[in-house]
């Protein structure tokens, strides 16, 4: 084939998505929005259908030494639903494809499906199809989620406007710190197999890593409060990266404040133990699956009444410039690492 090969890590995940997108043509008017948002928007006779997909592979996205199969099934559904909620839609159906090597048995698949079914029951989503195949090594889960949305409520990455307030749900960085903690205890276990893992006081971080929940509750609260975000995205790759997506797609800039970043007390405590600044995992840690969204300033009063939402900054007219302002007043441009799955995940995001 070709004689020169480019390592994927050289262009990164986002470079690769851009390269692929460039070659893609759309033939149908019903494909209203293709690649480039949390989910595609299809329009079938006026019904707006959302479609998104995510693939998880063993050893890259999960480690079965500390990820129970039920949790893995649950998480694989959750992260797909998160993309539907990020469009302000309601997930309805999923398809589930699983590839597994011969070390997995029928009972293992049943465990995975217990988790999948649990998520489906909780979020009222139907499994309507799938494929279960063998793989030469490891476990792969690929899920596609389909949702519906009200045309007037759909939120894309592209609607943010100057002076809009930047909001984020829940807290940031905990899922990444949970992963760090699990990795530390795995390493300790390998040295001293009889010692119990030390998770006391960090249960929240572990849960954030192993059982993330998409923020249906926040979408519902926004709806009840009559707020339609001007733009929205879910935080799967870290706040910095997602903010830059929003800014780029909306052709605006943004300014956030370090002191406003919502960080859980357990995150702060573990950061002290690890001797790192808690803002770093909050900005660049992945897998929080919180919602990042912008609202009109006039909605401030309403948003202030919603629990678990923090206003962390505002949109500016400085196209493409995303800045974080520290307590001492200095402003620093954000850099997006993304969750670059093509280099060592564990090390690149911080």
Give residues 103-162 in contact with a second copy (rule: CB under 8 A): 104-111, 113-114, 117, 120-121, 124-138, 140, 142, 144, 146, 148
> Closest approach of Cβ 261 to a second copy, in Å?
28
Residue 220 tokens, joined: 């519902």
Phi, psi of 335 (to 5 degrees): -120, 140
Phi, psi of 306 (to 5 degrees): -90, 125
CA distance 52 to 147: 9
Place of tokens 């660049």: 284
> Closest approach of Cβ 148 to a second copy, in Å?
7
Closest CB to a second copy among residues 316, 348: 348
Contact string (CB under 8 A) for a second copy, positions 56-95, x = contact:
xxxxxx------xx----------------------xx-x
DSSP one-letter string for 27-43: --TTEEE-SSSSSEEEE
Closest CB to a second copy among residues 69, 271: 69
Helix (H, G, I), strand (E, B) or coil at 280: helix
Closest CB to a second copy among residues 37, 323: 37
List all residues 6 or more positions away from 64 whose beta carbon is below 8 Å from its beta carbon: 58, 72, 139
> Closest approach of Cβ 57 to a second copy, in Å?
4
- Interaction with a second copy in 207-266: which residues (CB under 8 A)? none
Residue 66 tokens, joined: 């500390």
List all residues 6 or more positions away from 31 whose beta carbon is below 8 Å from its beta carbon: 40, 42
Number of residues counted as binding a second copy (CB under 8 A): 89
Closest CB to a second copy among residues 125, 205: 125
Judged by CB under 8 A, the residue of 18, 26, 196, 335 near a second copy is 26
Closest CB to a second copy among residues 126, 272: 126
54 binds a second copy (CB under 8 A): yes
Closest CB to a second copy among residues 49, 179: 49
Distances (CA, A) of 180 to 56, 174, 204, 273: 19, 10, 13, 12
Place of tokens 């280099």: 343
> Closest approach of Cβ 221 to a second copy, in Å?
22
Judged by CB under 8 A, the residue of 207, 216, 342, 350 near a second copy is 342
């Amino acid at each position: 084939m070709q004689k020169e090969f480019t390592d994927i890590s050289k262009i990164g995940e986002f470079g690769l998505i851009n390269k692929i997108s460039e070659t893609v043509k759309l033939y149908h008017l019903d494909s209203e929005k293709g690649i480039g948002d949390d989910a595609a928007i299809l329009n079938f006779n006026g019904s707006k259908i959302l479609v998104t997909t995510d693939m998880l592979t063993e050893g890259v996205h999960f480690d079965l030494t500390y990820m129970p199969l039920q949790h893995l099934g649950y998480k694989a559904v959750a992260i797909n639903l998160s993309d539907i909620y990020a469009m302000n839609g309601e997930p309805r159906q999923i398809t589930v494809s699983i590839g597994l090597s011969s070390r997995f048995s029928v009972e293992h698949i049943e465990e995975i499906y217990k988790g999948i079914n649990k998520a489906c029951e909780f979020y009222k989503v139907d499994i309507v199809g799938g494929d279960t195949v063998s793989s030469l090594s490891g476990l792969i889960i690929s899920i596609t989620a389909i949702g519906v949305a009200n045309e007037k409520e759909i939120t894309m990455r592209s609607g943010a406007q100057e002076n809009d307030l930047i909001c984020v749900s829940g807290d940031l960085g905990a899922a990444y710190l949970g992963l760090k903690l699990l990795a530390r205890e795995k390493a300790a276990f390998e040295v001293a197999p009889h010692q119990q893992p030390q998770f006391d006081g960090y249960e929240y971080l572990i849960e954030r890593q192993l059982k993330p929940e998409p923020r249906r509750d926040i979408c519902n609260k926004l709806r009840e409060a009559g707020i339609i975000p001007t733009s929205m995205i879910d935080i799967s790759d870290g706040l910095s990266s997602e903010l830059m997506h929003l800014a780029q797609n909306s052709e605006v800039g943004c300014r956030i404040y370090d002191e406003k970043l919502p960080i859980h007390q357990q995150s702060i405590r573990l950061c002290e133990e690890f001797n790192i600044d808690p803002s770093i995992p909050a900005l660049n840690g992945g897998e929080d699956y919180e919602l990042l969204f912008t609202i009109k300033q006039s909605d401030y009063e309403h948003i202030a009444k919603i629990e678990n939402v923090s206003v962390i900054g505002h949109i500016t007219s400085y196209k493409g410039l995303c800045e974080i302002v520290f307590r001492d007043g200095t402003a620093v441009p954000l850099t997006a690492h993304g969750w670059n799955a093509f280099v060592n995940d564990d090390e690149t995001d911080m």
